[in-house]
Amino acid sequence: MAWTAKAGRAIPAGMKKGDHLFLVDGSGYIFRAYHALPPLNRKSDGLPTNAVLGFCNMVWKLMQDARNTNVGVVPTHFAVIFDYSSKTFRSDLYPEYKANRSAPPEDLIPQFGLIRQATVAFNLPCIEMEGFEADDIIATYSRLAREAGADATIISSDKDLMQLVGPTVGMYDPMKDRQIGIPEVIEKWGVPPEKMIDLQALTGDSVDNVPGVPGIGPKTAAQLLEQFGDLDGLLARASEIKQEKRRETIIANADKARISRELVTLKNDVPMKEGLDDLVLHEPDGPKLIGFLKTMEFTTLTRRVAEATATEIGDVQASAVTVERADTAHGPDVGAGAPPRQPIPESNGAAKPAVRGEDAPPQGDTPSLLSALRLEQGTARKIDPSAYTAIRDAATLKAWIAEAREAGALALDAETTSSDPMQADLVGVSIAIAPGRAAYVPLAHTSGNGDLLGGGLLENQIPVREALALLKPLLEDRSVLKIVQDMKYDIVVMSRHGIEVGPFDDTMLISYVLDAGTSGGHDLASLSEKWLGHAPAVKKELAGSGKNAIGFDQVDIERATKYAAEQADIALQLWQVLKPRLAAKGLVSVYERLERPLVPVLARMEQRGISVDRQILSRLSGELAQGAARAEEEIYGIVGERINIGSPKQLGDILFGKMGLPGGSKTKTGQWSTSAQLLEDLAAEGHELPRKIVDWRQLTKLKSTYTDALPGFINPGTNRVHTSYALAATTTGRLSSSDPNLQNIPVRTAEGRKIRTAFIAEKGHKLVSADYSQIELRVLAHVAEIPQLKQAFADGADIHAITASEMFNVPVEGMPSEVRRRAKAINFGIIYGISAFGLANQLSIPRDEAGAYIKRYFERFPGIRDYIEETKAYAREHGFVETIFGRRIHYPEIRSSNPSIRAFNERASINARLQGTAADIIRRAMVHMEEALDKAKLSARMLLQVHDELIFETVDEEVEATLPVVRKVMENAPMPAVSMSVPLHVDARAANNWDEAH
DNA sequence: ACAGAAGCTTA
DNA sequence: GTAAGCTTCTGTT
């Protein structure tokens, strides 16, 4: 640690190669600390000090880290830089610069001065300069350090400073403990540091009021700079930009871009009083620093500093003395680092298996006995990760394989580098043959310091190809059951390695069939806690999370073995507990017909993916950006200030505070509601602003959620988008889709539908869309046995018109659309477990009027009231409802004494029978579909499911033959398990894109 | 970095 | 009034 006497300024040879200058962005840090930390007031007089404490902790930690760690970053020079005032030369350039800054919060103001005092107390130079921002001073010192051959680290995460990053200048974000170098800048912004100025000139900055070019965000800016080199190149050749609107805005806003560039360019020749020599880092002066900290009443930090500097706290004067614990100040280890770690206490007592109140006691029949016995065994057994072994040679693996064959069943778990099975590289495989007898086969663990060529593969691992060749016959052996938690993931991964794993049982799906709706998820950790009373190792603790995560391939093999083998062991033990319960509860056929066979079907759909046209999305994105920018300007014009329109809080303040519009409801946190519904109502009353806000929201929603996000999901290997379907995520039996969610692609508005045109068929192919018409109402007509509805569906009539006709005694012929609309809302209301409140909301009518509608409806369709009452009674009695195929959906809270919770569960259970039955029907269709297409010698492939719709891709020539097969399979899906008393109807169409096919 | 609220998209 | 997932903002560690 450099410990240099302050050199006289007359001697210039201060900083040299090897030195390292730390530049703390004091002003930036003050705001972050203030907002990140809870309010804190000095006990003796209530002086606000949270930002001061945050600042002191950060500086102290930085100084400690710097001298302790071996990362090689040891500061020899150190400065804390502040803004002098908000008025700088930039205000002369552009009067609006930072003009929208509001005054700092009341309780932050006194802390500015205190933080400067703190800096002095730390014996650090405290630097500011009138007319310049802290950023300019940092730029100046960075340059001086570079020219002296020294390194510099800027302590900040402000993007405005990233233009300074270079080979010898880095940044460090102390709050996230993250280094920012050239690669990180490129990763975050898509351009190297030297192009950050041009990027910011294009994007602008709403916080600082730098205009930029409207509608150009970081993604577009990076792409343009890539294409044209720099801002000048771009402006000179703007006429070459392909996208019409973008070209026009850039040409029109060239001046804004130029002035923005001036604003964001940091001045690196600020005439500083203090030279580099004045920034030499000095040892903190213990008593001086402790005096300050005591004055601030920071007891913990005072104690730490006292320990590290061997200062006796009692010897130090403070203006406001606090009672200090007497156990400090004994250690002599100056600069020896952080205080000794407290030993972590042993985790508290053994977890107990949750006993499930809903479970019936053993009945005496075999399945119930077995299931009770297994449960007892499961909870009694210990799980001991130290007993697991790593299989590191072919001979051992062969022995395990032989043992598994003998057993006839094994649990399996693939370890990979990614949660996306389409991108995951196989790292290892774990297997379990009997409870506690589990092993891990590491295949591709690396030392973590391998180069890009894949070096660093650890020794004593069976080569992937060899291990998979040995495992393949076992994994494909029809006489050996494979037990897996979440089989779909493993199927996708293993099939990419040419292995078709089967037959299998999936513990996640068994749990889902048994316990959908009961508290707790169906993931392995939840199930292990619930059934085995054991909390398994957590992957995050091995591999980290977020930005700091490492691949599982970099986890050391010993730790990986404990984790991975345990996963397989738990899956096996869960299977032993859960599988017998299926038979005990009569749920085997639900599992075997609706769940298990769907797994490979969905795995294939996910692997196929769907083709998405990048150009269409990028064009749409540009259009949306411009539309949004236009709306934004109009809104600013009306409001008179540049608020953040995306902030409901600010929006509420403006609309209902400043502008005095009649505020409707408040949200549960007490904020004004700014929902679309409410804004529409205001617009209907003739207000101009709410309409524009609704428009802006639509445009930005479409842009951020769809046109900007979807291209990022295009798999570079397949050039298609592969969603992930969750089989056990909903309570009702529906699937869900994520990463990306392809079940909520817009369709209602013309603008939104354009996004569907980007989902396209391959050349020479068509997309086929087949969707069930009114499936939930048909299910309702069937289960509630409503004669009029059954007849209407049998006749192929307009169901909402018939409903209206029955209710209001008006003929279907010439019916006003408003009458039909109300009947339609009631029909949907029934499916959702109707309430007068909800119907009133939906139709914007008074609640008693809605109540009268419902009453009338029940008079005309008494069977529906009976159905609703039966469902509620059944759910209350059993704690679950069932679909017509026997799927159970639990509502444990239906007996709640809280009326609103109870009512909610009643509505949900009414809906679940209908939604769940519809979900079962389409599941059956999906399970039957592949064989039917195969039999008809058709090559159509199922790609997507959207609850009541299936999307296929097929060659042009087979379109006509495919449509009737698809329709038939879907319409007959309930058969032969159930014969419905209402026909199902499917509409199917083919086109080049999803919009036209739907 | 993460969690919750608000808002919006779908069936 | 049912069932989902994603983005942005906001507050906090």
Domains of chain A and CATH, by start: 20-279 (3.40.50.1010), 366-585 (3.30.420.10), 610-721 (1.20.1060.10), 723-786+885-998 (3.30.70.370)
Contact A310, A66 (CB under 8 A): no
Asked if strand C contacts A911 at the CB level, meaning under 7 A, the answer is yes
Say what the pTM is. 0.67
CB-to-strand B under 7 Å, chain A 939-968 = 946-949
Q: What is the pLDDT of residue A627?
A: 94
Q: What is the pLDDT of residue A670?
A: 83
Mean pLDDT lowest among A364-368, A386-390, A818-822, A870-874: A364-368
Asked if strand B contacts A749 at the CB level, meaning under 7 A, the answer is yes
Strand (E) positions, A718-788? 720-721, 724-726, 736-738, 759-760, 765-772
Asked if strand C contacts A833 at the CB level, meaning under 7 A, the answer is yes
- Give the pLDDT mean for A246-252: 79
Structure-token pair, residue A61: 């930690």
Q: What is the pLDDT of residue A16?
A: 83
Torsion, Cα of A930, A944, A889, A728 (10° steps): 100
Contact A722, A607 (CB under 8 A): yes
Mean pLDDT lowest among A162-171, A222-231, A360-369, A378-387: A360-369
| DSSP bridge pairs for A770 | A950, A988
Contact A199, A230 (CB under 8 A): no
3-state secondary structure of A225: helix
CA–CA dist A699, A696 (Å, integer): 5
CB-to-strand B under 7 Å, chain A 619-658 = 648, 652
Regarding predicted confidence, which is higher, A368 or A888? A888
Express each pLDDT in A300-316 by its tens digit: 888 888 888 777 777 77
Mean pLDDT lowest among A68-77, A512-521, A695-704: A68-77
Q: Which of A683, A747, A765, A750 is nearest to A959 (CA)?
A: A765
CA–CA dist A784, A776 (Å, integer): 12
Average pLDDT, chain A: 86
- Give the pLDDT mean for A3-28: 64
Q: What is the pLDDT of residue A284?
A: 78
Mean pLDDT lowest among A319-328, A610-619, A944-953: A319-328
Å: A704 CA to C8 C1' = 10
Mean pLDDT lowest among A92-96, A558-562, A913-917: A92-96
Q: What is the pLDDT of residue A377?
A: 58
Per the structure, the residue whose CA is closest to nucleotide B11 at C1' is A947
Asked if strand C contacts A823 at the CB level, meaning under 7 A, the answer is no
Mean pLDDT lowest among A58-62, A522-526, A621-625, A836-840: A58-62
Q: Which of A242, A237, A165, A234 is nearest to A203 (CA)?
A: A234
CA dihedral (A158, A163, A167, A169) positive or negative = negative
Q: Which residues contact A668 (CB under 8 A, 6 or more apart)?
A: none
pLDDT band of residue A424 (cuts 50, 70, 90) is very high
pLDDT band of residue A59 (cuts 50, 70, 90) is confident
Per the structure, the residue whose CA is closest to nucleotide B6 at C1' is A648
| DSSP bridge pairs for A23 | A79, A154
Å: A907 CA to B8 C1' = 23
Contact A758, A710 (CB under 8 A): yes
Work out the angle at residue A697's Cα, subtended by the Cα atoms of residues A691 and A701, and round it to the nearest 5 degrees: 155
Q: What is the pLDDT of residue A363?
A: 39
Asked if strand C contacts A712 at the CB level, meaning under 7 A, the answer is no
Express each pLDDT in A118-134 by its tens digit: 998 898 999 988 888 89
Strand (E) positions, A83-207? 126-127, 151-155, 169-173, 178-180
pLDDT band of residue A451 (cuts 50, 70, 90) is low
Q: What is the pLDDT of residue A335?
A: 30
Asked if strand C contacts A646 at the CB level, meaning under 7 A, the answer is yes
Å: A185 CA to B1 C1' = 19
CB-to-strand B under 7 Å, chain A 176-215 = 176, 178
Structure-token pair, residue A226: 């890539």
Q: What is the pLDDT of residue A304?
A: 84
Q: Residue A951: in which H helix or E strand, if any?
A: strand A949-955
Mean pLDDT lowest among A346-360, A497-511, A658-672, A827-841: A346-360
Nucleotides of B under 7 A from a protein CB: 1-2, 5-11
Å: A697 CA to B7 C1' = 9
Contact A462, A392 (CB under 8 A): yes
Contact A731, A973 (CB under 8 A): no
Question: Which nucleotide, over all strands, has the C1' atom closest to the CA of A544?
Answer: B1
Q: What is the pLDDT of residue A13?
A: 46
Instruction: Give the percent of chain A with pLDDT over 90.
Output: 60
- Say yes or no to pLDDT of A821 above 60: yes
Asked if strand B contacts A674 at the CB level, meaning under 7 A, the answer is yes
- Give the pLDDT mean for A849-856: 96
Per the structure, the residue whose CA is closest to nucleotide C9 at C1' is A647
Distance of CA A710 to the CA centre of its chain: 15
Phi, psi (deg, nearest 5) at residue A210? -80, 125
Q: What is the pLDDT of residue A493?
A: 97
- Say yes or no to pLDDT of A590 above 90: yes
Nucleotides of C under 7 A from a protein CB: 1-13
Question: Which nucleotide, over all strands, has the C1' atom closest to the CA of A36?
Answer: C12
Mean pLDDT lowest among A391-400, A561-570, A642-651, A944-953: A642-651
Q: Report the range out of A133-137, A516-520, A607-611 with the highest average pLDDT.
A: A607-611
- Say yes or no to pLDDT of A454 above 60: no
Give the type of residue at A807: M
- Say yes or no to pLDDT of A426 above 60: yes
Q: CB neighbours (10 Å) of residue A916?
A: 26
Q: CB neighbours (10 Å) of residue A838?
A: 17
Asked if strand B contacts A545 at the CB level, meaning under 7 A, the answer is yes
Q: Report the range out of A129-138, A270-279, A625-634 with the highest average pLDDT.
A: A625-634
Q: What is the pLDDT of residue A348?
A: 32
Å: A644 CA to C9 C1' = 10
Task: Give CA separation, A52 vs A177, A390, A889, in Å.
Answer: 19, 52, 54
Asked if strand C contacts A168 at the CB level, meaning under 7 A, the answer is no
Å: A804 CA to C13 C1' = 57
pLDDT band of residue A447 (cuts 50, 70, 90) is confident
- Tally DSSP H helices, then E strands, for chain A: 38, 23
DSSP for A528-572 reads: IIIII------HHHHH--GGG---GGGS-HHHHHHHHHHHHHHHH
Q: Report the range out of A22-26, A59-63, A369-373 with the highest average pLDDT.
A: A22-26
CA–CA dist A652, A654 (Å, integer): 5
Express each pLDDT in A908-932 by its tens digit: 999 999 999 999 999 999 999 999 9
Contact A149, A17 (CB under 8 A): yes
Express each pLDDT in A326-378 by its tens digit: 232 333 332 323 333 223 232 333 333 333 333 333 334 455 555 665 666 55
Contact A585, A717 (CB under 8 A): no
Asked if strand C contacts A206 at the CB level, meaning under 7 A, the answer is no
Task: Give CA separation, A746 vs A360, A751, A952, in Å.
Answer: 46, 9, 19
Regarding predicted confidence, which is higher, A277 or A696? A696
Give the CA diameter of chain A: 103
* Residue whose token pair is 């996004």: A755
Å: A650 CA to C9 C1' = 10
CB burial of A57-92 (b: ≥16 within 10 Å; e: otherwise) equals: bbbbebbbbbbeeeeeebbbbbbbbbbbeeebebee
CA–CA dist A579, A483 (Å, integer): 11
Asked if strand B contacts A488 at the CB level, meaning under 7 A, the answer is no
